A and B are shown apart, each in its own frame.
Chain A
C-alpha cells in the first residue's frame, strides 16, 4: 500500500470519500445525491477597485461611551453608590453608636487628618509594613532562586510552603512576642511570615511557567545562574510575581492591622489598628469607622495607583496580560 501513496490521497478527496462517510443527522444525506453531480461553472469576473472614499475608515466613539470606558470613572460611580446606600442605611437605623452615617465618618476622618492624629498612626503602620514587606520579598526571591537552581532547594520550598502557607500569620504573634519582645521586631516577624509564602509560591509557579523556548534562548546567549534568573525568569514570570506581590501586600496589611488590634496596646506607640481599638473602647464609633476607612483607602490607593501603574508600564505594555 505504501508503494503508491498518491492512490491513497486520491481516496481521501475523491467523490467516493463522501459516499463512505455517515451523513450527519439533519443534513442532506450526501449519499442521496448522484455521484456524477458536479457544480455548474459560473462566469469569472474582475472588479477594478476605486480608492475607498464612501465612508471614513475610522469612526469616533461617542464621548459618553469613551468616558464610561475609563476605569476610574466606573469605580468612582461604584464608590459613590456605596456611600449613598451607607448614608441611607445609617439614617434609617438612627443609632450613631452602632452605625455612624457616611457624613459623620467623613467628618471624623477629616478631623483626624486635620489634627494629624490619623496620618501619624498611618505612618507608624506603614513603616512597619514596608519593612516587613521588603524583607519578605527578598527572602521569597532567595528561596525561589534556590528552588529553580537545585533539586534540594525545590524540595525545601515545597515543604516549607506546604507547612507554613496555611498557618495564619497572626497565630505566630504570641511566639513572636516571646522571641522578639514587645515592639516593631515581633510585628515585622509576623509580616515576613505573611508575605513570604504567598509570594514564594506565586513566583515559583511563574518561574515554572516560563516557556522552554525562552529558557533555551536565554541559555543560548550564555546566561547562567543569577543572570539567567534576573534577565529571563523574573521578567518572563512577572505577571505571576505581580499577583504574588499583590496577595502578599494584602496579607501583610491584614496581618498588621489584626496584630495591632490585639497586641498593639502593649507595643507602646500603636498604629492604625491601635487607633481603631482605642476608639472602640471609648465608643467613638465614627472614629472607628474613620480608621477602617483609612485602611480601605490605603488599600485602594496601593492597588489603583501603585500596582495598576506597575502593571500598565510592564506586563500590559508587553502584551503579557490583558
Chain B
C-alpha cells in the first residue's frame, strides 16, 4: 500500500507540473503569489510563492493547518489583499480590487446584513453592483432561494434564521450573482456537525445543477476530500504548496471507505510532515484521524 501511495504521489506531481504551464483554459491563475501582513513591529509572510490554477467548474480546495495562509490567499483572490510578489489572474484579467465577479461566502454569520430580509440580502449584491434592475434581481433572487430551499423564508430577517439557513442564504446570494468564481472561506466551520454534513451535501447537489467554479478553504481533511475535486495542500508558516491531490472520486458516500481513509491519512502525513507513512495501527479508525485537526 505504501508503494502504491508513493507512485500515486509521483504521478500527481507530474500532473501538477503540466497544469502549472499557463494554459488558455485555466479560469484562475495564481502565479508565484507571496502574501504579507503587517503588525506594528514586523512584516509577516503568510504565503510564499504559491502557484495553482483553477479550471472552469473546478471545486478547488485550499487545505492546510491553521497559519498556512489559506484564508489570506482566498482574500487575495477576492482582491482584499495585494500580493507582495507574483500575480493573480481571473479569466486573463489581473485581480486588482474586490469585485462582484468573485463573490465570497464567509464563515461568520454576520455576513448577511441584518437590516435586510432574506430576499433583500440575495438581491443586495445584484443591485449594489448594478448588475440587474430591481425587478429582474428579485426574480433571480427568488429562483436561487428556491434552489437552496428557502422560498418560505424570503421575508424573514436573518436573525430569525438558524446557522444552516444563514449559510444557505449566503450561498444563494453568491450564486445569484453568477460570479466567475465562488470563493468560500470555511463557510461551514461555524455550523454543528450534522448541519455541516447536510450543507456539504447540498453544496454538491447545487454544483451538479449549476456547475459553478468554486475555491473552497477548509482545515478539515474530510471536508476537503468530500467537497473538492482537487486539493491544494499548504504547509504552515509560511504557506507553501506541499502537494496537489485529486479527490474527484470521493463524495459523502465514500466517508469511511478504505480508499477514502488512505487518502485522508496521506494528506495528514503530507500536512504534518511525518516523513514515511506511519505503520498503520490495526485499530486506527477514521475518527482518530479527525482528532488531529
- In the complex, chain B residues 259-278 whose Cβ is within 8 Å of any chain A Cβ: 272-275, 278
Question: Contact partner of A319 among B108, B111, B114, B273, CB < 8 A?
Answer: B114
Which of B16-24, B53-61, B157-165 forms part of the interface with chain A? B157-165
Q: Is A66 an interface residue, CB under 8 A from the partner? A: no
Q: Is the CB of A214 within 8 A of B113?
A: yes
Task: From known contacts A216-B80, A216-B104, infer whether A221 and B110 are also in contact, taking CB-CB under 8 Å.
Answer: no
Q: How far is the CA of A319 from the CA of B115 in the complex (A)?
A: 8
- The interface residues of chain A lying within 8 Å CB-to-CB of B160 are 319
Q: Is B238 an interface residue, CB under 8 A from the partner? A: no
Q: Is A318 an interface residue, CB under 8 A from the partner? A: yes
- In the complex, chain B residues 130-164 whose Cβ is within 8 Å of any chain A Cβ: 157-160
Q: Measured between C-beta atoms, what is the minimum distance from A26 to chain B in Å?
A: 31
- The interface residues of chain B lying within 8 Å CB-to-CB of A238 are 115
Q: How far is the CA of A295 from the CA of B204 in the complex (A)?
A: 63
- In the complex, chain B residues 70-110 whose Cβ is within 8 Å of any chain A Cβ: 75, 78, 80, 97-100, 102-104, 106, 108, 110
Question: Contact partner of B114 among A5, A6, A218, A318, CB < 8 A?
Answer: A318
Question: Contact partner of B115 among A9, A216, A222, A318, CB < 8 A?
Answer: A318
Q: How far is the CA of A2 from the CA of B128 in the complex (A)?
A: 50
Q: Is A217 an interface residue, CB under 8 A from the partner? A: yes
Find the residue from A2, A211, A219, A320 having the highest chain B CB count within 10 A.
Answer: A219
Q: Is B291 an interface residue, CB under 8 A from the partner? A: yes
Q: Is the CB of A217 within 8 A of B274?
A: no
Q: How far is the CA of A231 from the CA of B104 in the complex (A)?
A: 18
Q: Is A213 an interface residue, CB under 8 A from the partner? A: yes
Q: Is the CB of A2 within 8 A of B113?
A: no
Q: Is the CB of B291 within 8 A of A221?
A: no
Q: Is the CB of B128 within 8 A of A219?
A: no
Range of interface residues on A (Cβ < 8 Å): 20 to 34
Q: Measured between C-beta atoms, what is the minimum distance from B170 to chain A in Å?
A: 9
Q: How far is the CA of A181 from the CA of B100 in the complex (A)?
A: 54
- The interface residues of chain B lying within 8 Å CB-to-CB of A2 are 272-274
Q: Is the CB of B158 within 8 A of A319?
A: yes
Closest residue of chain A to B291 (Cβ to Cβ) is A9
Q: How far is the CA of A5 from the CA of B80 in the complex (A)?
A: 37
Q: Is the CB of A320 within 8 A of B115?
A: yes
Q: Is the CB of B292 within 8 A of A5?
A: yes
Q: Is the CB of B128 within 8 A of A222?
A: yes
Report whether over half of chain B's contact residues are helix, strand or loop; otherwise say mixed.
loop
Q: How far is the CA of A220 from the CA of B131 in the complex (A)?
A: 13
- The interface residues of chain A lying within 8 Å CB-to-CB of B157 are 317-319
- The interface residues of chain B lying within 8 Å CB-to-CB of A216 are 75, 78, 80, 98, 104, 106
- The interface bits of chain A over 207-230 (1 if a CB of B lies within 8 angstroms of the residue's CB, else 0) are 000010110111111110001000
Find the residue from B98, B106, B115, B129 having the highest chain A CB count within 10 A.
Answer: B115
Task: From known contacts A5-B272, A220-B78, A319-B158, infer whether A235 and B113 are also in contact, taking CB-CB under 8 Å.
Answer: yes
Q: Is A267 an interface residue, CB under 8 A from the partner? A: no
Q: Measured between C-beta atoms, what is the minimum distance from A7 to chain B in Å?
A: 9
Q: Is A192 an interface residue, CB under 8 A from the partner? A: no
Q: Is A281 an interface residue, CB under 8 A from the partner? A: no
Q: Is the CB of A220 within 8 A of B272?
A: no
Q: Is A314 an interface residue, CB under 8 A from the partner? A: yes
Find the residue from B103, B114, B129, B284 having the highest chain A CB count within 10 A.
Answer: B114
Q: How far is the CA of A6 from the CA of B104 in the complex (A)?
A: 36
Chain A to chain B: the 6 pairs with minimum beta-carbon distance, closest first: A319-B159, A221-B128, A221-B125, A235-B115, A318-B114, A219-B98
* 10 further interface pairs, Cβ-Cβ under 8 Å (given A2-B273, A211-B108): A2-B274, A3-B274, A3-B278, A6-B278, A213-B110, A216-B104, A222-B98, A235-B113, A318-B115, A320-B159
26 A/B residue pairs, CB under 8 Å, sorted by A: A2-B273, A2-B274, A3-B275, A5-B272, A6-B284, A9-B288, A9-B291, A211-B110, A214-B113, A217-B113, A218-B128, A219-B97, A220-B78, A220-B103, A220-B104, A221-B125, A222-B100, A236-B115, A314-B115, A317-B157, A318-B114, A318-B157, A319-B114, A319-B157, A320-B115, A320-B159
